[in-house]
C-alpha cells in the first residue's frame, strides 16, 4: 500500500523559491525510490503574501497548513520592510503567526560540521572535530510574544518577556526525549543570575530532569554559552534555551559549519510540523540560481524523520555528504568553482536514485558548472 502525505509548501521571499525547488525534487526522488506519494499545495507567506493578499499570512493559507501533514518553508523577509520599522505589516508576522496558530513551540536546529569545509569557519579546525550539536529553542513564548509598548514620540519603549511552567515543560520534555537517544547530555542556557524568567526555567527543567535520570543536566549563562560555542563547541550535545537566546545562539552556531546555508531546522508542537532552512531571504542573490539549497534539502530530511521515513532521511543526508565531499557546492562555499542551486539539486537527486556513479568523474559535468576551469 502506497503511503501518502500532504505537504504545504510556502516558498516565501527572496531566495525562498529557488531553494524550495531542489528540496521538492529531492522529496520526489525519495518518493520514487520508496514508493511514497507526496501531494503538494502551494501558498504565500511574508512579503510575497503582503503583496498578493494584503496580509503576511492569509487565513486560507493557514487553513491549508493546518490540514497538511507538514509544512515546507523557504524564507521570509524583504529589505523594503527592514528599512522602515514603522510599517504596520511586516513579513515576519506571517512566520510568527504560523508558529502560534500551529502550536509550534519547539525549534530544533542541528549543527553539523564537515571536514572538507573546516577552512570556511572562523573557528580553528581542531576545535571543529566531533561537533554535533542540536539546539532546542522555545518558539512561541518569551519576549517575541510579550506585550510591546512605546510612547507617542518613540522616545521610550518596552518589550515584556514572560513564560509559564507549562510552556517550559513542553519544550523541555521534547529536548530530554531527544537527548535520551543521543549522548544523554543537556545544557540549559539562561540568565538566571539576572532574569526571573530564567530562574523559572531552571526550576522547571531541574524538576523535570528527575524523570530522566540517565540524562546529564548542566547549566550555563547565555553570555558564557556564546563564548563556549566558539572556544569549545564539541562540549555541547543538546542545548535547551528560550526564544531570544535560542535565536541568537543558533545563528552564532551556524558559523561552525562554514555557512548559514547548510543548516536546517524543524519547528514542532501541537499541529503539523514546519521545516525550513535557518537562513533568511537573502534578496541580494534572488533570481541568480546561486543560493545554497543544502539547508532546505536537509530540512526535507528532517521532515522524512518526522514522518518515520528514516531510510529516506538517511539517503538524503548521505547524498548531501557526497555532494559536499565532491565539491558540488554553491557560491557561498566556493566563490570561484561553484555549482548552481538547481544543479546541486539535480546531482543530489541523481545520487539518491542511482543515476550518478558515486565515484563520478567531475569532468563529465564540467559544463554544468558556473565557471569553466
Per DSSP, the residues of 230-287 read HH-GGG-SEEEE-HHHHHHHHHHHGGGTT-GGG-EEEEESSS-EEEEESS---GGGTT
Q: Decide: 11 and 48 in contact? Cβ < 8 Å.
A: yes
Q: Decide: 188 and 201 in contact? Cβ < 8 Å.
A: yes
The predicted pLDDT at position 197 comes to: 97
Catalytic residue among 6, 185, 191, 369: 191
What SS3 class is residue 341?
helix
Q: Decide: 66 and 229 in contact? Cβ < 8 Å.
A: no
Is 247 an active-site residue? yes
End-to-end CA distance of the chain: 49
Please state, in angstroms and rounded to a whole number, the distance separating the CA atoms of residues 201 and 322.
Answer: 41
Is 251 an active-site residue? yes
The residue among 264, 328, 337, 347 whose CA lies nearest residue 301 is 264
The residue among 102, 121, 163 whose CA lies nearest residue 138 is 163
Is 223 an active-site residue? yes
The predicted pLDDT at position 372 comes to: 34
Sign of CA dihedral 38, 42, 46, 48: positive
The predicted pLDDT at position 357 comes to: 62
Give the pLDDT confidence of 145-196 residue by residue, as tens digits: 889 999 988 899 999 999 999 999 999 999 999 999 999 999 999 999 999 9
Secondary structure letter of residue 111 according to DSSP: E
Cβ-based burial of 148 (10 A; exposed 0-12, middle 13-18, buried ≥19): exposed
Q: Give me the residue label for grid cell 512561541.
A: 140
The residue among 250, 249, 263, 281 whose CA lies nearest residue 333 is 263
Return the C-alpha cell found at 13. Answer: 521571499
Catalytic residue among 36, 114, 118, 144: 144
Render 143-210 in DSSP notation, one character per residue: GGTS-EEE-TTSS-EEE-----HHHHHHHHHHHHHHHHTTTSEEEEEE-TTT-HHHHHHHHHHHHHHT
Full set of structural domains in the chain with CATH: 1-102+272-373 (3.40.718.10), 107-258 (3.40.718.10)
Is 144 an active-site residue? yes
Catalytic residue among 69, 251, 334, 350: 251
Catalytic residue among 247, 289, 315, 332: 247
Please tell me the number of Cα atoms within 13 Å of 88 on its side-chain side.
2
Secondary structure letter of residue 249 according to DSSP: H
Distance of CA 18 to the CA centre of its chain: 16
pTM of the model: 0.89
Give the pLDDT confidence of 198-223 residue by residue, as tens digits: 999 999 999 999 999 999 999 999 99
The predicted pLDDT at position 59 comes to: 97
Return the C-alpha cell found at 350. Answer: 541523481
Residues of the chain with pLDDT under 50: 366-373
Catalytic residue among 82, 223, 311, 357: 223
Close Cβ partners of 214 (under 8 Å, ≥ 6 residues apart) = 180, 184
Amino acid at each position: 500500500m502506497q503511503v501518502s502525505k500532504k505537504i504545504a509548501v510556502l516558498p516565501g521571499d527572496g531566495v525562498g523559491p529557488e531553494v524550495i525547488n531542489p528540496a521538492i525534487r529531492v522529496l520526489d526522488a525519495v518518493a520514487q525510490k520508496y514508493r511514497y506519494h507526496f501531494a503538494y499545495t502551494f501558498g504565500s507567506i511574508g512579503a510575497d503574501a503582503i503583496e498578493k493578499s494584503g496580509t503576511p499570512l492569509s487565513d486560507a493559507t493557514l487553513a491549508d497548513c493546518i490540514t497538511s501533514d507538514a509544512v515546507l518553508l523557504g524564507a521570509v523577509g524583504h529589505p523594503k520592510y527592514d528599512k522602515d520599522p514603522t510599517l504596520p505589516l511586516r513579513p515576519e508576522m506571517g512566520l510568527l503567526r504560523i508558529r502560534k496558530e500551529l502550536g509550534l513551540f519547539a525549534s530544533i536546529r542541528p549543527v553539523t560540521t564537515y571536514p572538507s569545509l573546516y577552512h570556511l569557519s572562523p573557528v580553528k579546525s581542531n576545535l571543529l572535530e566531533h561537533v554535533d550539536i542540536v539546539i532546542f529553542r522555545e518558539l512561541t513564548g518569551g519576549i517575541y510574544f510579550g506585550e510591546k509598548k512605546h510612547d507617542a514620540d518613540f522616545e521610550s519603549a518596552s518589550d515584556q518577556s514572560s513564560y509559564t511552567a507549562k510552556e517550559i515543560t513542553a519544550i523541555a520534555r521534547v529536548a530530554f526525549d531527544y537527548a535520551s537517544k543521543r549522548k544523554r547530555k543537556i545544557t540549559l542556557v539562561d540568565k538566571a543570575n539576572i532574569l526571573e524568567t530564567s530562574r523559572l526555567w531552571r526550576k522547571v527543567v531541574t524538576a523535570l530532569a528527575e524523570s530522566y535520570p540517565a540524562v546529564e543536566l548542566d547549566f550555563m549563562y547565555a553570555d558564557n554559552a556564546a563564548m563556549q560555542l566558539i572556544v569549545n563547541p564539541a562540549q555541547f550535545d543538546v542545548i535547551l534555551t528560550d526564544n531570544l537566546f535560542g535565536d541568537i545562539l543558533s545563528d552564532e552556531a551556524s558559523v561552525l559549519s562554514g555557512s548559514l546555508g547548510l543548516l536546517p531546522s524543524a519547528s514542532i508542537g501541537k499541529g503539523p510540523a514546519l521545516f525550513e532552512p535557518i537562513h533568511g531571504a537573502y534578496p541580494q542573490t534572488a533570481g541568480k540560481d546561486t543560493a545554497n539549497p543544502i539547508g532546505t534539502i536537509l530540512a526535507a530530511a528532517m521532515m522524512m524523520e518526522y514522518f518515520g521515513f528514516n531510510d529516506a532521511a538517511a539517503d538524503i543526508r548521505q547524498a548531501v555528504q557526497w555532494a559536499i565531499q565532491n565539491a558540488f557546492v554553491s557560491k557561498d562555499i566556493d566563490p570561484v568553482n561553484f555549482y548552481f542551486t538547481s544543479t546541486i539539486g539535480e546531482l543530489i537527486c541523481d545520487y539518491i536514485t542511482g543515476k550518478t556513479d558515486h565515484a563520478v568523474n567531475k569532468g563529465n559535468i564540467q559544463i554544468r558548472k558556473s565557471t569553466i576551469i
